[in-house]
Structure 1
Amino acid sequence: MFDRIMGKYLLDRGKLSKAQLSLAYQVQESKRAKLGVIAVNEKLMTVAQAEEINALQATMDKRFGDLAIERGYLSEIQVGYLLSLQGNEFQTFTSALIAKEMMSLEELDETLKMYQQEKGLNDEQMTALKSGDIELIVPIFSGTDDPEYNALFDYGIKNLYRLVDTHLYLGNVYTVHNIKEECIAYQSFDGDVKATVALIGKNENLQKLAKSYTKEEFIETEEDALDAMCELINCINGLYATDRSKKGKKIELEPPYFITKFGEIDGEDIRIMPVYCCDTEVLLIVSAHSNTTVK
């Protein structure tokens, strides 16, 4: 994630051209593959086992390696070995910049310090960004200590990352009382925690996400795209509800719905996280602890 954030930062400040940035990402991709792909290539897992773990990630909030260990497909030592082969996204990106002589180590260090100062981040937050750990990164952009908001944004981003686009990055959360957009996919739930979660955006943008999520090219209508986004939101909230049930909280999910031809969300505390993925922008919306209406 931080590789994409820094890529945009370098591009916006004229330190890299679009062609240079594209080349850096190509080099990075050649050196980094999904853990399942590496496991199969290393003959530590079968294709069927890797696909099983990938499918499980859609229903369980766990990393590939952790699930593979639980299923007995890999040992902790083997997972560590695979992670060392995979490499950290930010490190492989910066290594590509240096290898292609687009930036020197000194220039990179100065740029990182400038970014940290401009964004008002402390050393701990910078370390979190570089780690690629979504659970540590989300609170930096959510701007809140509220556990329910952070949990819902966390599950939302994890699922978008795992199931839609591993190259996504985030914008800072902001709060509104009303928002209108061309297409809205949403789900509300009640119980010990009351909230509404939504993905909204222009039809063409949600279609891009839907195609990546379903791995199908037939997504052509607003209804097809939003149906896929409703499925994704149900996955996000299902994981959240499962987690909260383990802590003794009861969550009752309503069916997900979608609105085309412009919809509107009203509420006292609507928090919006811009998400940049699939070469476009959508908004992940969470509204908790207050009454919210979608129409």
Structure 2
Amino acid sequence: MFDRIMGKYLLDRGTITKAQLYTAYQVMESRRAKLGVIAVTEKLLTVAQAEEINAIQATKDKRFGDLAIERGYISEIQLGYLLSLQLNEFQTFTSALVEKQIMTLEEVDDAIRSYQQDKNLTDEQMTALKDGNPDFIVPLFTGTDDAEYNALFKYGIKNIYRLIDTHLSIDNATIAGNIKEECIAYQSFSGDVKATVALVGKNSDLQKLAKSYTKEEFIETEEDALDAMCELINCINGLYATDRSKQGKRIELDPPYFITRFGEISGPELHVMTVNCCDAEVRLVIAAGQDVTIK
């Protein structure tokens, strides 16, 4: 994830061009494969086993390797071997920049230091970013210590990362009183925790996410795209509710809904995080512990 965050940072600063960034990402794609693909090619998993684990990931907030161990398909030693074959995305990205002579090693190092200073991050936080674990990355961008907001953002971004596009970047969350957008998919829940989670964006952008999420080539209507986004939000909130139930909290999910042809979300304090993935930009909106109006 940090490769995309850093790439956007370099692009926004004018340090590199879109063409150069695309070249670096092409190099990365040629060198990195998903863990399931590696496991199959190494004959540690069958295709059916890998597909089974991919399906389980849609309902459980666990990494591919951990699920493979739980199912008894591989050992911890075998998982360590597979991970050693899977290159670190950020290190691969910076290596590609240098290899293709887009930036020198010194320029890359200077840019990383500038990013750290601009974002006021500690060395420990930068290490977490470079390691690429969403569990550690997402809380750095929420701008709050509130446990519910951090948990909901984490489940939201992790599921977009796992189920739609591992090549995503996020921006620092902002707070707004209302948001107007072409399309809105949302779900509310109540009980011991009350919140609304929404994905908002242009129809063309949500269609790109929907195609990646459903693995279907043709998502032709706004309704098709928003149906898929509602399913994703239901998955996000379902995992969150399951986690909170383990803590003895009761959560009741309302059915997800969507609005096309411009809608508006209003509330006392909407927390908004911009997500860039699938060559699209959408916003993940969360309102916890408050009433919101959606029309």
Residues 69-125 of structure 1, C-alpha deviations (whole Å, 9 max, x = no match)? 000011111111111101111011112122223323222111111111122222122
Summarize the Cα distance change of 1:281–1:68 in structure 2 as closer, same or farther, 3 Å threshold.
same
Distance 2:221 2:294 in 1: 21
Cα distance, 1:19 vs structure 2: 2.4
Identity level (%):
75
In structure 2, the residue matched to 1:174 is 174
Amino acid at match of 1:122: T
Matched, 1:127 2:120: no
In structure 2, the residue matched to 1:76 is 76
Distance 1:28 1:87 in 2: 9
In structure 1, the residue matched to 2:143 is 143
In structure 1, the residue matched to 2:92 is 92
Where in structure 2 are there 5+ consecutive unaligned residues? none
Instruction: Within 5 Å, give how 1:160-239 maps onto structure 2.
Output: 160-239=160-239
Instruction: Within 5 Å, give how 1:271-286 maps onto structure 2.
Output: 271-286=271-286
User: In structure 2, the residue corresponding to 1:258 is in which secondary structure?
Assistant: strand
Distance 1:137 1:209 in 2: 21
Amino acid at match of 1:241: A
Matched, 1:116 2:116: yes
Q: TM-score, normalised by structure 2?
A: 0.97
User: In structure 2, the residue corresponding to 1:156 is in which secondary structure?
Assistant: helix
Amino acid at match of 2:19: A
Residues 241-278 of structure 1, C-alpha deviations (whole Å, 9 max, x = no match)? 00000111000001000111111111112100000011
In structure 2, the residue matched to 1:48 is 48
Where in structure 1 are there 5+ consecutive unaligned residues? none
Distance 2:14 2:269 in 1: 37
In structure 2, the residue matched to 1:15 is 15
Distance 2:179 2:11 in 1: 30
Distance 2:68 2:267 in 1: 42
User: In structure 2, the residue corresponding to 1:179 is in which secondary structure?
Assistant: strand
In structure 2, the residue matched to 1:104 is 104
Cα distance, 1:20 vs structure 2: 2.1
Residues 139-196 of structure 1, C-alpha deviations (whole Å, 9 max, x = no match)? 1110111110011000100110111111011011011111111111000000000000
User: In structure 1, the residue corresponding to 2:252 is in which secondary structure?
Assistant: strand
User: In structure 2, the residue corresponding to 1:219 is in which secondary structure?
Assistant: coil
Runs of 4+ in 1 over 4 A off after TM superposition: none
Distance 2:16 2:252 in 1: 49
Distance 1:226 1:13 in 2: 34
Distance 1:124 1:254 in 2: 39
Cα distance, 1:136 vs structure 2: 0.8
Amino acid at match of 2:240: Y
Cα distance, 1:215 vs structure 2: 0.8
Distance 1:205 1:104 in 2: 34
Summarize the Cα distance change of 1:17–1:179 in structure 2 as closer, same or farther, 3 Å threshold.
closer
Amino acid at match of 1:69: I
Amino acid at match of 2:272: I
Instruction: Within 5 Å, give how 1:55-66 maps onto structure 2.
Output: 55-66=55-66
Q: TM-score, normalised by structure 1?
A: 0.97
RMSD over equivalenced CA pairs, Å: 1.0
Residues 33-88 of structure 1, C-alpha deviations (whole Å, 9 max, x = no match)? 10000000100000000000011111000000000000001111111111110111
Amino acid at match of 2:138: V
Cα distance, 1:16 vs structure 2: 2.2
- In the alignment of these two chains, the number of paired residues is 295
